[in-house]
């Protein structure tokens, strides 16, 4: 007589679902645009075997590393025993290798062993991140019981959007280029300043009220000064007047007003600023722009560095909305659908107004984050 397998705890069930979702996302991103060939690519396979010494661009390196960070993070949360850790690590290597081999049959993709190395590096970084900031998993026995990693992860997304690609520039010309928008400003963008200021206020709220960190004024001043200095020193980064004034203005705003406001009030302010920025400069297009129905296409085309910055910002904005607004609602599912509908209307409006790219990506991304981040309120992610 066989014994029924006991169900997983709700926390692990949620993480397992997110793990499978990430695996599908990796396959989706690796095989896009889904144009395949059926014959054996002998020349491509020989080139793949000889590609272990290839040197990739910064954008490619960043994209390949970032692709597997979520996999490593969730795999660490699932690995309650070393046997499980080994299986998940082998599965990650197999997934990365499968993606590269499958790209041999995708004419528009260029598989490389160097990309495989970078994927594995991203998985290892994600594993280490989960050891430092676990979401209530037994994978990190050294974590403090009072830690609040979820707000810290969202704050990390905001800082990453400001400091990517984390590589220092080593010549004066790059530093002058970074300062050029500040020294020779062109056109002031109020929407960009507004959304950046609101983001900083939400950032401080997450640190002070959700992560329970004490924000001493000297520490905040020193941190912002250091951050602005790093933006000058980091490769392919720019210090704009809007970014500087937002970082500076948010400090007195936080200490005078922001810390007295509720999180949902700041979240609504951020959402309003995000919508205004999405429709900037509030001018009609000459002709309606086509709507992108294929999800996440914008993050798979063009500069991976620009895409990574945009993705980190939206992870912060959408994650903060889900974390600060939805748990306080009596029916968070309806609230998530309402916010997703508002984002969908914003995308439709971008067909006719502003310079944004209308697509299905933002509403779907928000729904995924809302599902993941509101699970703690139902006892799914936090122990």
**Annotated domain spans of the chain:** 10-132, 149-378
Q: Is the pLDDT of residue 137 over 60?
A: no
Exposed / middle / buried, residue 171 (Cβ in 10 Å: 0-12, 13-18, 19+): exposed
Residue 49: pLDDT over 60? yes
Distance between CA atoms of residues 173 and 193, nearest Å = 26
> Tokens 């968070």 label which residue?
332
Q: Residue 147: is its pLDDT beyond 60? A: no
Percent of the chain with pLDDT over 70: 88
d(C-alpha 315, C-alpha 373), whole Å: 11
Integer Cα distance of 309 and 63 in angstroms? 11
* 218 phi, psi to nearest 5 deg: -60, -35
User: 22: closest CA among 81, 79, 96?
Assistant: 96
Task: Output the average pLDDT for the chain.
Answer: 83
Res. 84: pLDDT tops 90: no
pLDDT at 12: 64
Task: Render 46-75 in DSSP notation, one character per residue.
Answer: HHHHTGGG----HHHHHHHHHHHHHHHHHH
pLDDT tens per residue, range 325-365: 988 788 888 999 999 999 999 999 999 998 888 999 999 99
The number of CA neighbours under 13 Å toward the Cβ of 210 is 20
Burial 124-158 (b: 16+ CB within 10 A, else e): bbbbebbbebbbbbebbeebeeebbbbbbbbbbbb
| pLDDT for res 317 | 96
Residue 364, both tokens:
């779907």
Among candidates 211, 207, 279, 210, which has minimal Cα distance to 250? Answer: 207
| pLDDT tens per residue across span 198-214 | 999 999 999 998 888 89
Highest mean pLDDT among 29-43, 80-94, 130-144, 148-162: 148-162
User: CA 162, 208, 379: angle at the middle one, nearest 5?
Assistant: 100
Q: How far apart are CA 378 and CA 107, in angstroms?
A: 45
Q: Is 19 helix (H, G, I), strand (E, B) or coil?
A: helix
Maximum average pLDDT range among 73-82, 174-183, 254-263, 300-309: 254-263
Which pLDDT band, with edges at 50, 70 and 90, does 314 fall under?
A: very high
pLDDT band for position 239 (50/70/90)?
A: confident
Tokens found for residue 50: 């000889």
- Per cent of the chain over pLDDT 90 is 36
353: phi then psi, degrees, rounded to nearest 5 = -130, 140
How many Cα atoms sit within 13 Å of 248 on the Cβ side? 8
**What does the pLDDT look like over 279-299, one tens digit per residue?**
988 888 888 988 888 888 777
Q: Encode pLDDT of 111-120 as tens digits.
A: 888 888 899 9
Say yes or no to pLDDT of 44 above 80.
Answer: no
Query: Is 80 exceeded by the pLDDT of residue 99?
Result: yes
User: Of 137-151, 170-184, 202-216, 238-252, which range is least confident?
Assistant: 137-151
How far is residue 214 from each of residues 198, 218, 220, 257, measured CA to CA in Å?
20, 11, 10, 17
d(CA 20, CA 24): 6
Residue 153 has pLDDT above 90, yes or no: no
Per-residue pLDDT for 238 more than 90? no
Instruction: Please report where in the chains the tokens 């900083």 appear, as a residue.
Output: 200
Backbone angles phi, psi at 222, to 5 degrees: -65, -40
The arithmetic mean of pLDDT across residues 126-140, rounded, is 68
**pLDDT of 364:** 93
Q: Taking residues 12-20, what's their average pLDDT?
A: 77
Would you say 84 and 78 are in contact if contact means Cβ atoms under 8 Å apart?
yes
pLDDT for residue 25 is more than 90: no
């Amino acid at each position: 007589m066989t014994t029924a397998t006991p169900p997983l705890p709700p926390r692990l069930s949620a993480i397992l679902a997110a793990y499978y979702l990430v695996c599908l996302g990796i396959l989706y991103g690796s095989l896009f645009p889904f144009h395949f060939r059926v014959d054996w690519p002998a020349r491509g396979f020989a080139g793949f075997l000889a590609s272990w010494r290839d040197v990739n661009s910064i954008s490619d390196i960043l994209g390949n590393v970032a692709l597997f960070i979520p996999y490593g993070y969730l795999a660490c949360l699932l690995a309650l025993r070393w046997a499980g850790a080994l299986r998940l690590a082998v599965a990650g290597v197999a997934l990365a290798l499968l993606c590269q081999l499958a790209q041999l049959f995708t004419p528009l993709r260029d598989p490389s062993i160097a990309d495989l190395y970078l994927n594995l590096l991203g998985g290892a970084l994600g594993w280490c991140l989960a050891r430092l900031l676990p979401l209530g998993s037994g994978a990190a026995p050294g974590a403090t019981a009072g830690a609040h990693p979820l707000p810290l992860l969202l704050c990390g997304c905001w800082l990453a959007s400001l400091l990517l690609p984390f590589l220092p520039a080593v010549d004066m010309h790059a530093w002058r280029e970074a300062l050029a928008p500040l020294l020779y400003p062109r056109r002031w963008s109020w929407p960009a300043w507004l959304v950046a200021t609101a983001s900083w206020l939400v950032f401080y709220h997450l640190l002070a009220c959700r992560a329970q960190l004490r924000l001493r004024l000297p520490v905040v001043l020193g941190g912002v000064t250091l951050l602005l200095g790093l933006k000058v020193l980091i490769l392919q980064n720019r210090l704009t007047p809007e970014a500087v004034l937002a970082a500076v203005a948010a400090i007195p705003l936080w200490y005078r007003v922001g810390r007295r406001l509720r999180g949902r009030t700041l979240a609504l302010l951020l959402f309003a600023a995000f919508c205004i920025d999405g429709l900037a400069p509030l001018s009609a297009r000459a002709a309606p722009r086509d709507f992108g129905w294929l999800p996440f296409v914008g993050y798979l085309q063009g500069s991976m560095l620009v895409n990574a910055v945009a993705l980190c910002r939206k992870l912060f904005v959408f994650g903060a909305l889900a974390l600060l607004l939805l748990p306080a609602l009596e029916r968070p599912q309806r609230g998530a659908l309402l916010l997703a509908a508002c984002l969908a209307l914003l995308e439709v409006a971008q067909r006719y107004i502003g310079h944004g790219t209308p697509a299905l990506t933002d509403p779907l991304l928000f729904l995924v984050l809302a599902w993941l981040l509101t699970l703690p309120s139902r006892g799914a992610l936090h122990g």
